[in-house]
Amino acid sequence: MSKKLYVGNLSYEVTDHDLTKMFEAHGVVESAQVIMDRDTGRSKGFGFVEMKSDQEASAAIAALHGVESGGRPLTVNEARPKTSGGSRGGSNSRGGYGNRRY
């Protein structure tokens, strides 16, 4: 069964291909994706890598977490499931009458 890893603190120049190359020394990489900002098209500085097995994922975490890449120490750990509601929390409503002028 495959295991998804979170890879943070990536240099903004890292591509999906670079991410694959970085991790394939530690096992079979099923997918690698650098997350891009949809408005600017630039990297957000993190991504996800899916390894073929738990053992390979553990080996990659042990080998790459804290290692410098592009002058930045990588954060590599098991990806957590996405939480509902996004990172902003709450709703966008101001409630009441807000800032209306009459």
In a domain? residue 101: no
* pLDDT tens string 33-44: 999 999 999 999
For residue 58, give its domain range.
3-78
**What does pTM read for this prediction?**
0.79
* pLDDT tens string 19-72: 999 999 999 999 999 999 999 999 999 999 999 999 999 999 999 999 999 999
In a domain? residue 102: no
Residue pair 72/10 in contact (Cβ under 8 Å)? The answer is yes
Q: What is the DSSP track for 56-97?
A: HHHHHHHHHTT-EETTEE-EEEEPPPPPTTTTT-S-S---TT
In a domain? residue 98: no
In a domain? residue 25: yes
Domain count, the chain: 1
Query: CA–CA separation, 100 vs 81, rounded Å?
Result: 39
Query: CA–CA separation, 8 vs 73, rounded Å?
Result: 9
Give me the pLDDT at residue 86, please: 54
